[in-house]
Amino acid sequence: MSNRLHVYILHSQHSQEMIPHKVSLDDLLALPELTDIIAAHLPLGTREVLVQTCRAWKFIWTPYLYETIRFGELKCPSLCESMLYTYGHHVKSINLWSFRQLNPSPRLFSAVPNLTSLVLQSPPRLKQEFQISLEAVPRLKSLTFTSAEHCTSFSVVASLAGLECLKWNYARSFTSEVSDGQLLIAEILHVLKSCRRLKQLHLENTIVVDQESPDTGDTRGQEDNKDDSWENSTLVEMSLRNTSFQHGRHQDQTEHSALLSGVMERIPNLFTLMLDQHTGSGIRDWIHLLEHTPHLGQLTLILPENSYHQPLLLKAILQSHSKLETLKIHPGENYPQELLHEIMMKNPRLQIISVNKSSVFEDNTLLSLCGMPKSLSTLPNPTPSFPSSQKSIQPILTYTLRSLNLNACASVTCHGARAILETCAGLESLDLCRTSANSIELFEGERPWACQKTLYKLSMDLRPRTQNYAPYNAWWDLHSYSSNPPYYSTEEEATIRSRLYACKALQQLTLTGRAVTISLFESEPLPPRLQFIELLFPLPALTGQTKLYMDEYQSSRAPSTSSVQSTKSAIRKEAVIERINDVFSDWEQLKVLTWKSTKHHKMLASVKGTRW
């Protein structure tokens, strides 16, 4: 095999003549810009083979072989230390499962001068020695701290002036009454003041305390925060998972709120905020945080179900935020419909919306997103896109909304979903699973989908045209299915295929429900760029469609002991899998096809590769 390639070089900016030149493959791979791209797609085993190919390639690929090191439960710590001392100048990322098995000395960290990412599962208790060790890696940009107990002070991170991402997790039970997971506000301010390049801050399973601990009287970090003129202008993302706030013994709620306001004033450019709480505690402090972050662009709220604090959070968002680009609410069961509608009307820049498990999110709110009159939402769902009396009303195309996730929003119907598809010209992702927008009415209509050139991901249920059909878990009950389920006609299936085929950019398709049949994919090709398909439906839903095929399949099998012992369900499964194989065998662009049965909700067939 020749190791020389023909490389075409454009000699002049004014000349379009391409002249071939012979370039050595070793010289080409010596370009770090090219090898970085190649190494990003190579598994560890392939990199090891490349290192052992020849001397020239060993010099090229050795840095990528030792770029990331993950230590599990170390059986031979001395060998690991020896490897770090030998190849440490290539190491950029280290994941230590247990730091106690390695000596956390400055000498160890001095062996990895180019270290930029460090993950510590169980850091040591020695605060001073650990801080000295961190000072030996000045290039560290990402630090992940996970501990089963309170063993290291948060203020040790202040020695990392170039830190950009900090994840601090105590990994403890949130309901525990012990105070080992406490962080002082003074410590947080000390880290924000020292790490002026910090961009991301993630706190999990912690208790933020205003002043000294009631038990220890710790005042660490407070002496460094007397200056009130500093700001951390680089912090743009912060997440609080299972994080609560407590005020000191000698403070009231007013002083506590003032301290929280002081923290938020230090980070004026905060753009992304995620609040995740499995319990109802600390919600009032969240409301105070939302009221003092008016410049937020991305907001995620994850609360326990049936929480009575949800309307208060929406009111805080409505009063303080008008520049949101991303809004995610999980779950959205107790959020008032009027507040959701007003928030979306007040934030015209919304690009990503995700509201899950909400029975109050209705078509009225969807119509407000696409700039249509509210009066249309009170009309019955017509077969065309709009009533005949309103045909003169032309919907205004909007290019703002890019992603819409309405999973388990039972009040969303085909009328509102079709309005989104016909007006949001920039829509890229749409999830309508477990909603009422699940029948053929979604695909009917005279107007084309405005997002057919941009939509690349579509997830939805496809169920028979029936009235009062439950959009939730009733369809999982296989015993409620009749022997001959009502499938769509050939004309209706052609309507569905024509809508999907018009989406030229569609790459990922997920279809679930009783009306999903293999015949949808037989007659005409689907979108040319479709690469990932996931089908989720029960085997009984295919009985009427595959009965004849199953009889032919069973009669074509040669009689044997295994065929006699095969059950009817096993024969049905084999027949359907072979039929799917016949249908999708000519789809060269297809990379992954997954078919699951809802009876056991397990994968029955999965295909990876360019062809099945």
* Angle between helix 32-39 and 55-65 (nearest 10): 60
Percent of the chain at pLDDT above 70?
Answer: 65
The pLDDT score that the predictor gives to residue 119 is 86
* Closest by CA position to 194, among listed 232, 145, 220, 138: 232
DSSP structure class, residue 339: H
* Closest by CA position to 473, among listed 359, 596, 355, 598: 598
Domain ranges of the chain: 4-61, 427-556+564-608
- In this prediction, residues 526-547 reach a mean pLDDT of 67
If pLDDT is split at 50, 70 and 90, which confidence band does 148 have?
low
Helix (H) or strand (E) holding 153: none
The backbone torsions φ and ψ at residue 296, rounded to the nearest 5 degrees and listed phi first, read -65, 140
| Residue 6 scores a pLDDT above 70 | no
| Residue 490 scores a pLDDT above 60 | yes
The pLDDT score that the predictor gives to residue 150 is 55
If pLDDT is split at 50, 70 and 90, which confidence band does 217 have?
very low
- In this prediction, residues 321-340 reach a mean pLDDT of 85
Query: Can you tell me which residue has the tokens 């084309």?
Result: 448
- In this prediction, residues 163-192 reach a mean pLDDT of 77
Query: Can you tell me which residue has the tokens 């089963």?
Result: 148
* Closest by CA position to 413, among listed 458, 456, 460: 460
| SS3 assignment, position 612 | coil
* Closest by CA position to 421, among listed 448, 457, 386: 448
- Chain segment 368-407, per-residue pLDDT in tens: 777 654 444 333 344 344 343 344 344 556 778 999 999 9
In contact, 313 and 343? CB cutoff 8 Å: no
| SS3 assignment, position 159 | helix
Number of Cβ within a 10 Å radius of residue 6: 8
- Residue 586 corresponds to which tokens in the numbers above? 């000519």
| Residue 609 scores a pLDDT above 50 | no
| SS3 assignment, position 376 | helix
In contact, 212 and 218? CB cutoff 8 Å: yes
Helix (H) or strand (E) holding 316: helix 310-320
If pLDDT is split at 50, 70 and 90, which confidence band does 194 have?
very high
Q: How far apart are CA 485 and CA 475, in angstroms?
A: 12
Q: Global pTM?
A: 0.79
Mean pLDDT for the chain overall: 75
- Chain segment 423-456, per-residue pLDDT in tens: 999 999 999 998 999 888 899 888 899 999 999 9
